[in-house]
Structure 1
Amino acid sequence: MQQVKSEAFFAGARPVDPRTLPVPARRSPLQRVNNRFNRAFVLHGAAIRRSFMIAGLLAGATAVYAAHEPIGAGIGALSTLAQGGFADAGLSVGEINISGQTLTSEQAIFDALGIQPDTSTLAFDVEGARERIAELPAIDTVTVRKTYPADVTVSVTEKVPVARWRVDGITFVIDSSGAQIGEDGGAYSDLPLVIGDGAADDALVMIRALSHVPQLQEGLVALSRIADRRWDMIYDTGLRIQLPEQGVAQALVKLAAYQSEYQLLQRDLDVIDLRVDSVVAVRPTKREDPKKS
């Protein structure tokens, strides 16, 4: 390595008064903080941006939650005012036409519509009303329409009743599945009457079996379900015919043959027992002995 003599190093040097040298300016505290922030942002910019974004989201969510109740109340108030305005303008529901109902009361349909005195035709929810009416027990199909300025029309089709079911002292009208579709108000007295627990579920099968032997239906007032296992036929004369658990159709055909040949149902009998396949047992009506009276 080449040696440089001190004389050569200081060859161009000249004496300087230290007091004339420039003094560096001191940085203010704000500048120092700004420099530190810039240095941190360069090194950790992604993490800082994520932190700011999360904080902003939290602040926004807090503000929305704090304001949702006043906003909801304001929307509700505006809706109420709008309803009243539409009603005052002549758009309130004025006439409701209901057709097709027999088992379902008009009041039940009106309640399901949900129409209040200040309900406007414009705001009336047709689909919601249709769904509520469709849930009524006797309703099969329903159509709801609104006609401006002030009419609502409801047209229903009810389920087809097949029998009356008396249980616990109340008589219901039932459909083919055995479901209750309304109370019997006397309009369905021509339908077969079934009695007892479980009678509704099996009513249609028994009614269909009886349809093949019309000669056994005259004077028949009720079909009584016994222990939810078999049927008794009850006539207006007090005669009771006891049917078997199995082979009901065959027992009815046999009874129809006896009726045609011997007029068995017109005999002075209390009971005809068909529960045993190969036997027809009868119990005569008990008569009081006039000598004992």
Structure 2
Amino acid sequence: MQQVKSEAFFVGARPVDPRALPVPARRSPLKRLNNRFNRTLVLHGTALRRAGMAVLALAALGGLYQVREPIGFGLSALTTLTQGGFAEVGLAVGEISISGQTLTSEQAIFDALGIQPETSTLAFDVEAARGRIAELPAIDTVTVRKTYPAEVAVSVTEKEPVARWRVDGITFVIDATGSQIGEDFGAYGDLPLVIGDGAADDAMVMIMALNNFPQLQDGLVALSRIADRRWDMIYETGLRVQLPEQGVAQALSKLTRYQSQYQLLDRDITVIDLRVDAVVAVRPTKREDPEKS
């Protein structure tokens, strides 16, 4: 390595006042803050972005909660306007046909349909209407369909009535399970009549037992449930046949034999008591003494 004399560095040198030398510029507080922010963004940018999105989501949910009622009102109003719009262009329900009902009134079915003047065929909910009609007491099956532009058709089949049940002065029509399926207004006079508390629940058993003895049904007007334990048979002549709690079929068979042999049901009596096995007790009709009248 070549050595250079120190004098070589001073060739052309000149004296300078140190106060005249340039001073490096100092960084402003704002620039320092900006540098720190950029460094933080580079190092932790992903975490910061996720936190910011979470805050925005919470703020959005809070805002929606505050305006939930106005939004609900607006949607309801929009639905109403849409319905009305469909109705105005000819899609309003204008014809409703109902068939198959006897026990169920047309008004009850119409109410269950839920159709209003502004209801459009397009927006009418067939399944919801079918479900409401199916809940009516006498309905067994129901079909609801809509035909564009403006028709709704309802077809029902009702439960089969097996008897009439009179209780508290009102006569109902009941099915095989004893359930009330309608009120009798005189159209089911050919059905057996059962009366008394609990009569509906056991009516079908008694009716099926009587079906085996048609001879006993002539002139029979009602079956009366006594203390929810046994039956009395009431005839149009006023005759009452008292049946036992157990062995009803045997008692009916015995009564049939007595009717065939002695025309017991046609006698001038008011009561035939069959409640005790092997005993047939009768009560004659009371006659006024002419001398006392």
Same fold (TM > 0.5): yes
Cα offset for 1:22?
A: 6.0
Structure 1 CA distance for aligned equivalents of residues 279 and 37 of structure 2: 108
Cα offset for 1:29?
A: 2.4
The one-letter amino acid paired with 2:81 is: L
The one-letter amino acid paired with 1:67 is: V
RMSD: 2.3
Partner of 1:264: 264
Structure 2 CA distance for aligned equivalents of residues 19 and 30 of structure 1: 29
- Quick check: 1:219 aligned with 2:203? no
Structure 2 CA distance for aligned equivalents of residues 28 and 196 of structure 1: 103
Cα offset for 1:83?
A: 1.9
Q: Structure 2 unaligned runs (5+)?
A: 1-8, 10-14
Question: Per the alignment, in what secondary structure is the counterpart of residue 223 of structure 2?
Answer: strand
Structure 1 CA distance for aligned equivalents of residues 277 and 36 of structure 2: 106
Q: Structure 1 unaligned runs (5+)?
A: 1-11
Partner of 1:87: 87
Structure 2 CA distance for aligned equivalents of residues 80 and 142 of structure 1: 28
The one-letter amino acid paired with 2:220 is: L
Name the TM-score, length of structure 1 as normaliser. 0.88
Cα offset for 1:170?
A: 0.4
Partner of 1:249: 249
The one-letter amino acid paired with 1:29 is: P
Structure 2 CA distance for aligned equivalents of residues 259 and 16 of structure 1: 155
Cα offset for 1:91?
A: 1.7
The one-letter amino acid paired with 2:131 is: E
Cα offset for 1:195?
A: 0.4
Question: Per the alignment, in what secondary structure is the counterpart of residue 143 of structure 2?
Answer: strand
Question: Per the alignment, in what secondary structure is the counterpart of residue 152 of structure 2?
Answer: strand
- Quick check: 1:51 aligned with 2:47? no
The one-letter amino acid paired with 2:133 is: I
Alpha carbons of 1:180 and 1:16: their partners in 2 closer, same or farther (altered >3 Å)?
A: farther
- Quick check: 1:120 aligned with 2:91? no
Percent identical pairs in the alignment equals: 79
Partner of 2:140: 140
Show CA shifts across 1:129-187 (max 9, x none).
Answer: 11111111111111111111111111110000000000110000000110000100100
Structure 2 CA distance for aligned equivalents of residues 45 and 284 of structure 1: 109
Show CA shifts across 1:58-92 (max 9, x none).
Answer: 11101222333333333222222222222222221
Structure 2 CA distance for aligned equivalents of residues 224 and 168 of structure 1: 13
Alpha carbons of 1:36 and 1:283: their partners in 2 closer, same or farther (altered >3 Å)?
A: same
Show CA shifts across 1:250-273 (max 9, x none).
Answer: 111111111111111111111111
Q: Matched residue pairs, number?
A: 282
